[in-house]
Amino acid sequence: MAHDQQQNPLPAPAAATVALKIDQLCVLRGPVLVIDHLSFTLDAGRFCCLTGPNGAGKSTLLRTLAGRLPATSGAFTCPVGRIYVGHADGLSPAISGRHNLASWAALYAIDAKPDTIDHALDAFDAGSFADRPVHLLSRGQRRRLALARLGLAPPNSLWLLDEPNAGLDHAADTHLDAMIAAHVSAGGMVMAATHGPLAASVPQVRLELAGNKAGASR
Amino acid sequence: MIPFFAQIRRDLAIAWQHRQDLAVMLVFFVIIIALFPLAIGPRQAVLTELGVPIIWIAALLAILAGFDRLFAQDVRDGWLDQVSLSQLGLGWYALAKAVSHWLTAGLPLLVMTPIMAALLDIPMAQLPVLITALLVGSLALTLLGVIGAALAEGARHAGALLALLVLPLAVPILIFGALASNHDSGIVSPHLMLLGAVLAVLLAIAPLVAASALGTGETETGL
């Protein structure tokens, strides 16, 4: 068994509803079975921390849940909306961060008024550079713009975050932790892959991926 | 705003920032056409005869030249990942891409066509027929290019692969388009109707093909 799931004793939420259900999921990347018969459930209002060494399949799992990689076998169900923040920021370098955020909100049919967008940008102190073309911004600034989407996300959604705190400064790190805490306490779900500490104050379910160290062996 | 129009608006804003690409495409179109009279020499009858086919070939090449980059930037930026989870869906996304590409590539060509027709000594009376056929034909070519771009996305030589995929399939559009452009009696000819039929078929299948190609393909982002 390649996966080691540890459930920390947690205070049970008022109405524990299984919202994300992964059933015997296998994902093949080339010849390597990266995710090997993973079964896992995440209740609403829980924060799941994906850990494991490089190549363990954290990004693969998140991309599969985001619908960007096909499951080789098995399946998952998630009745709520999913918000994915991957390694790529999903920002066009040619237009401003504000325009990127506004078109993202429109695509997700989120009714975003200008002050809602301002509010989401301010959550990551991104207001000062949001009107500049994204190609002029630094790595960390782009990351903050990508994460500013979370401020527009519907409250019951599942956030799939792939190393969200990579490249963030300390202040932005704190904002992200606060945002995760608020989302979880409002009944949303967060699944985040991380190497460092992330939202340590939030009670978390750990999902440790070990990957397939033997390569192509089953 | 409806997601479909938001995507078009976003693409047009990006295209405006890259407006030199549009200029390059238009100059390409003009140069191909301008080279033919030089190669043919001072034989006006030949030029008049070949004028319509020359415009069609130039339009075909100019429209398809921009397609290798149609999805590449969105894939690299990670925008496609965002689209696939959104309310828009990949099929409507592909259609929105087709609309914005036509507005930034097909429409300028149509505007340039009267000038090019004068250069090739095509009679003014033939212009409405030619423009109508080019309008339908450029829409069909754009949808064909969307299919090709989605299938070739992620390949190492996407541009060459795209040409190999799309140019043979563009043959019916070229045949019916050139025939419709030479029709003498009235704008609506049987050839134009057949061209319209090609457009209708492509309109139905292009979003489906593009969505399935973009949905399951392993993209280069992320891992």
pLDDT in tens, A175-217: 999 999 999 999 889 999 988 788 778 888 888 888 665 443 3
Asked if the structure places residue B222 within a domain, the reply is no
Question: Is B158 within the bounds of a domain?
Answer: yes
Q: Provide the H-helix boundaries in B18-121.
A: 19-40, 44-65, 72-77, 79-84, 89-101, 107-119
Q: Which residues of B touch A84 (CB under 8 A)?
A: 81-82, 85
A32 located within any domain: no
Contact call for A109 and B83, based on CB within 8 A: no
> What's the CATH code of the domain at A56?
3.40.50.300
Nearest-by-CA chain B residue for A106: B3
From B219, B209, B19, select the one nearest B108 (Cα to Cα).
B19
Domain that holds residue B48: 3-216
* Number of neighbouring beta carbons within 10 Å of residue A4: 12
Is residue A152, in this structure, part of any structural domain at all? yes
Of B45-59, B112-126, B208-222, the poorest mean pLDDT is in: B208-222
Yes or no, beta carbons of B84 and A108 under 8 Å apart: no
A215 falls within a domain: no
Q: How many domains does chain A have?
A: 1
Pick the more confident residue, A127 or B197: B197
User: Between A198 and B9, whose confidence is greater?
Assistant: B9
- Measured between CB atoms, which of A69, A83, A93 is closest to B218? A69
Q: Could you identify the residue written with the tokens 């909100």?
A: A105
Q: What is the DSSP letter of A96?
A: B
User: Once rounded to an integer, what is the mean pLDDT over residues B54-62?
Assistant: 91
Q: What percent of chain A has pLDDT over 90?
A: 28
- End-to-end C-alpha distance for chain B, whole angstroms: 33
The answer to whether residue A15 is domain-embedded is: no
| Residue-level pLDDT at A96 | 92
**Cβ–Cβ below 8 Å for A108 and B86:** yes
Within a domain: A3:
no
Give yes or no for A70 touching B (CB within 8 A).
yes
User: Is residue B223 in some structural domain?
Assistant: no
Burial A190-201 (b: 16+ CB within 10 A, else e): bbbbbeeebbee
Q: Which long-range contacts (CB under 8 A, 24 or more apart) does A20-24 make?
A: A20/A65, A20/A76, A20/A77, A20/A78, A20/A158, A20/A189, A20/A191, A21/A76, A21/A77, A21/A78, A22/A65, A22/A74, A22/A76, A23/A74, A23/A75, A23/A76, A23/A77, A24/A73, A24/A74, A24/A75
pLDDT in tens, A52-80: 888 888 888 999 998 888 888 888 988 88
pTM reported for the whole predicted model = 0.86
Whether A88 and B78 lie within 8 Å, measured CB to CB: yes
Task: Examine residue B127 and state whether it is found in any structural domain, yes or no.
Answer: yes
Which chain A residue is nearest to residue B220, measuring alpha carbons?
A: A88
Q: In Å, how far is A162's CA from the nearest CA of chain B?
A: 9
In a domain, B221, yes or no: no
In a domain, A64, yes or no: yes
User: Residue A176 — left, alpha, or beta (φ > 0 → left; ψ -120 to 50 → alpha)?
Assistant: alpha
> Considering CB atoms only, which of B10, B18, B81 is closest to A103?
B10
B84 occurs within a structural domain? yes
Q: Is A35 a member of any domain?
A: no
Q: Any CB–CB contact under 8 A between A75 and chain B?
A: no
Is B55 within a domain? yes
Q: What is the mean pLDDT of residues B212-223?
A: 60
Q: Domain total for chain B?
A: 1
Domain that residue A136 falls in: 44-69+78-207
